[in-house]
Amino acid sequence: MTTEALLTLKEVTKKYGNREVLSDISITISQGDCIILRGSNGSGKSTMLRIVSGLIPITSGQRLLKHSNLLIGYTPDRLSKLRMTSTEYLTHMGRISDIPKRNLKDRIRELHEFFNLEQSDSLKMTHFSKGMLQKTNLMQAMIKTPDVLVLDEPFSGLDKESTGHLLHSLKKIKSQGTSILAAVHDPLLASQLESRTYWIRQGRLTKEDVDSSSDQKAAYFELEGVLNQDVVDLLPNLFPDITYKTGDSGYMLFTFMHKDYREFLPEFVHKGGEIISLTRKELR
C-alpha cells in the first residue's frame, strides 16, 4: 500500500545571485516518513530544509503540498538564549500561531511533560544548557502538532545523555504519525531511527545505497583536527561519504565510516593536516 505524499519537491533549483546552491532536487515526504539528510558544511542542507518549510522561495521547480493547511514545524540549528522562561517563549510562539488562550496553557504543559523539561516560573533561557535549549526549540516547532517536523542539526553540541533523551522523544513523535526530515552531521540518528538517508553533494541530492552502507554499520570515526580550508573543500571529491563541520572547540570535525579509515588518515596527514583527536564510535 502506498502512502499519499504530504510534500513533494520536483526538480527544485535554488540560486543566490549567480551562485547555484541546490540543483534539480526531487524528493517526496509521506506520512510517517523519517528522512535523514547528510552532507558537509555549505552543501545546501539548511537551504533545502528552509525550502521544505516554506521559509524561502525556490528559483525554479515545484514545491507541492497535500493541502494548503499542512502543518510544518521547523527547528533551526540553534535557539538563542532569550531573557524569557520557556513558558513565556512558548506562550509568545503560540499566540503567533493563533492558538486559543484557553488551549495554549494546556498545550505548553503537555510539551514540557513530553520532553521532560521542568516548567519553571523563574529560570530564564539565558541559563539553559544546550540540551534544554534544544528541547525548547523542538517544543516551539510542535506548539501545533505538525504533519512534518523539520530539524536542522538537532544533535549538535549535545552530550550523550541529552542525545539519548532527544532520540527517545523523536521516536515517540514519529510513532504518533508525524513525518521527520532531519539534517545531521553524525550518522547516529540514521542508525537509531527507522529512516532512509539522502546526501547532498555539490548541490545535488542522492539516496544512500542501502547495500553499500550495510557493511558500515559496525563503527564510524570522528577526527578533530586542523587542515587548510582549500584542502578541506577538495575532500568530498576524494571521499564522498565524509562530512565535516567546525566543531564547538573551533577545530574542524570530520566524520567518516570504517571503510574510509585506512585511506583517509594518510591522506589527511599527507595534505598537511594535524590530528587533535580521533574517536571510534559504535553504530547501535
Tally Cβ neighbours within 10 Å of residue 203.
Answer: 21
Average pLDDT for residues 145-149, to the nearest whole number?
95
Same domain, 17 and 147: yes
Same domain, 73 and 171: yes
Same domain, 221 and 202: no
Domain membership flag for residue 224: yes
Same domain, 134 and 265: no
Same domain, 155 and 256: no
Instruction: Choose the final residue of a domain: 169, 186, 207.
Output: 207
pLDDT tens for 111-137 read 999 998 999 999 999 999 988 999 999
**Of the candidates 112, 179, 105, which has an alpha carbon nearest to the alpha carbon of residue 146?**
179
Q: Please tell me the total count of domains within the chain.
A: 2
Burial status of residue 121 (CB atoms within 10 A of its CB: 0-12, 13-18, 19 or more): exposed
What CATH number is given to the structural domain containing 29? 3.40.50.300
Same domain, 34 and 156: yes
- Residue 122: phi and psi, rounded to 5, are -125, -25
Same domain, 140 and 188: yes
In percent, the amount of the chain with pLDDT more than 70 equals 93
Look up the pTM and report it: 0.81
Instruction: Choose the final residue of a domain: 189, 207, 225.
Output: 207
Instruction: Choose the final residue of a domain: 207, 233, 257.
Output: 207
Which residue range forms the structural domain that includes residue 236?
A: 217-282
Q: Is 54's pLDDT higher than 60?
A: yes
What CATH number is given to the structural domain containing 236? 3.30.70.250
Same domain, 258 and 187: no
Same domain, 88 and 222: no
Per-residue confidence at 40, pLDDT binned at 50, 70, 90? Answer: confident
Q: For residue 269, what pLDDT is reported?
A: 93
Same domain, 227 and 125: no
Domain membership flag for residue 212: no
Same domain, 147 and 221: no
Per-residue confidence at 258, pLDDT binned at 50, 70, 90? Answer: confident
Q: Is 284's pLDDT higher than 70?
A: no
Amino acid at 230: D
Per-residue confidence at 281, pLDDT binned at 50, 70, 90? Answer: confident
First to last CA, the chain: 30
Domain membership flag for residue 255: yes
Across 60-92, b (16+ Cβ under 10 Å) vs e yields: ebeeeebeeeeebbbbbbebeebeebbbebbbe
Average pLDDT for residues 157-165, to the nearest whole number?
79
Average pLDDT for residues 3-26, to the nearest whole number?
94
Same domain, 189 and 224: no
